[in-house]
Amino acid sequence: MGGVEIAFRDVSFAPDRNAARLTGFDLRVAEGETLVLLGRSGAGKTTALRLVNGLLRPTSGEVHVGGVATTSSDPVRLRRRTGYVIQEGGLFPHFTVARNVALVPTLEGWAADRIVGRVSEMLALVGLSPDRFSDRYPHELSGGERQRVGVARALAADPPLLLMDEPFGALDPPTREDVRTEFARLRERLGKTILFVTHDLREALLLGHRIALLQNGRLAFLGTPSELLRAPGAEERAFVRTLGATEARS
C-alpha cells in the first residue's frame, strides 16, 4: 500500500488541559512524503498529529486524510489505517514482541499463518531476527530494540500513513543516531506518507522531505531542509543556531 494525502484546511483547535492551540492552520502533505513537524514544546506539533488520526477534533476547519474529513470517518477504521509510533514504541508489556507486532492484523481478522509471516517480515525489516526476538517481552529489550518493535508494529497492517511522535527522543544519543539513520534508509523503501514530530533540528534535516516549523500554534515556515537553513525568520534562525551549539559541546 502506498501513501495517502493529508490536508489541514484552516484548522483551529482550542486547547484543553492536554493539548496546545492551533490557529488558522493550513498544510498539505503529499502521498509518500515525509513531512517533519518541528517546533518548541507547546508549539502544537502533537496536537496536529492527533487531529490526523481523530484523537482530537478540530474546533473549526477540517483535516482530510485521503480526501475524507476525519470528522466524517469511522474513528476505528481511521486509526487502524494509521501506524502510530511514540517514544519507547508504546508496547504492551504483557505481550511478547510477536504479539505486539501482530496486534492490528489480529484485530483485522487476518489468518494465523499470514500473521506469522507478516510478523517475521516486519521484524526482519527493522533489523531484528524473528528467531531471536519474537518470544521476548518488552522488558527484555534495549531501548533501541523496543523502538524498532514499535516501528514494526506500526507497519504490520501495511497502513498508508505513519504518525511518529518524537519516537527516538527517549534513546541515548548513540542509539538514537543509529536508529534514525536506519529509519531514514527505510523510509525510502516504504513509500508511506509520514508525519514526524520532533524538536530536534538535526533529526528534521535528516528525515524530512519538507519541514513545517510551528510557533505558538501557527505555521511559521514550510519548505525543504536546505530552505530552512537559509530562512531569515527569527524562529528559523533560533533553531539553526542549535546546530552550532551542539557542535560546540561535542
Residues 6+ apart with CB under 8 A from 234: none
Query: pLDDT, tens digit, for every residue of 105-146?
Result: 999 999 999 999 999 999 999 999 999 999 999 999 999 999
Cell of 136: 521476548
Sheet containing strand 22-29, edge to edge, reads 22-29, 6-13, 60-65, 68-69
C-alpha torsion angle, residues 146, 186, 203, 17 (rounded to 10): -50
pTM of the model: 0.90
Q: How far apart are the first and last CA of the chain?
A: 42
pLDDT given at position 180:
85
Query: pLDDT, tens digit, for every residue of 74-96?
Result: 999 999 899 999 887 789 999 99
Domains of the chain, CATH where assigned: 6-81+160-249 (3.40.50.300), 91-158 (no CATH)
Query: pLDDT, tens digit, for every residue of 14-53?
Result: 876 667 789 999 999 999 999 999 999 999 999 999 999 9
Rounded CA-CA distance 197/211 in Å is 10
